[in-house]
Amino acid sequence: MRARLDHLVSSALQQGSAVPAFTCYDFTTALAVVSAAEEAGRGAILLVAPKTAASPNGPRLIAALRGLADGAGVPIAVQLDHAADPELILAAVAAGADSVLVDGSSLPYEDNIALVRSVRADLDGRGNADVVIEAELGGLAGDEDRAFGADAAGSAPAAGLTDSGQVEDFVSRTGAQLLAVAVGNVHGKYQGEPRLRWDVLQDIAVRTRIPLVLHGASGIPAEELVKAAAMNVGKVNFNTELRTGVLAVLEERVSAHRADGENLQALLGQWGDAARNFAADALRTLAR
């Protein structure tokens, strides 16, 4: 069943857990994620990257994910991730996305606020007041779609971290329903051990009641993800490890399936198994 993202996340936080969100570049991965969620009896979030949404078949994929969410046996939300283009956001919502991360984190502070407010006004004016908005404050290193290594922001200059002193003003003025934060997390693979800034996260958590979001969770130890969930992090995004697991299966099995008469169905089944196993592990971790 499709669920409002903010309600799904708030419900998890009330139970002391968080909801995993998985970037789905294709329908096979999305099917696997929903299958794992149904088996676990827990909700999940299907993410669509902005480059995917902007591709010629992006709207069709979003519509397919919306249909998958509608028919799921557990609460599922569909979110456009890291979007800064208002036209892309409106197109994704029209295709079926029910939430969006309006990402103005690379902009000056006031411009970030203005972008989120403008998107909210556009959505409301088009009858989409029920679309949930996540915003981002602070800058995450790395590349969301490619697994290049990046230093954790916790070991980099503090400018990349979320400024906890801005949180109350930012949330109040944007009306964001979730807040993505930079506390040492990065997109892609970590170079060395991730070092989350628990002091910064704790300071943010006491300054706002809305759920917090941790992007770049791939590579962060399970016990730290559980600790973050106890500090008002109600949504945790996964991408890199999911892609890595799927690609490892493809590298290992493509030759075998060619020898087996180019057995694409079997290969897609193993692709789905890899995605489902990763999603199941994430769901178990965040349910602790």
Q: Which residues are catalytic?
A: 81
Query: Which amino acid is present at 84?
Result: A
From residue 23, how far is each of 62, 144, 217 by CA, in Å?
A: 12, 10, 12
Residue 36 contacts by C-beta under 8 Å, 6 or more apart in sequence?
44, 276, 277, 279, 280, 283
| Angstrom distance (rounded) from CA 94 to CA 88 | 10
DSSP strand pairing (132-137 vs 99-102): parallel
| Angstrom distance (rounded) from CA 123 to CA 233 | 26
SS3 19: strand
**135: closest CA among 181, 166, 201?**
181
Is the CB of residue 33 less than 8 Å from the CB of residue 68? no
From residue 31, how far is each of 164, 276, 284 by CA, in Å?
A: 38, 8, 18
From residue 277, how far is each of 145, 163, 232, 251, 272 by CA, in Å?
A: 21, 36, 26, 17, 8
| Angstrom distance (rounded) from CA 167 to CA 155 | 22
DSSP conformational letter for 129 = T
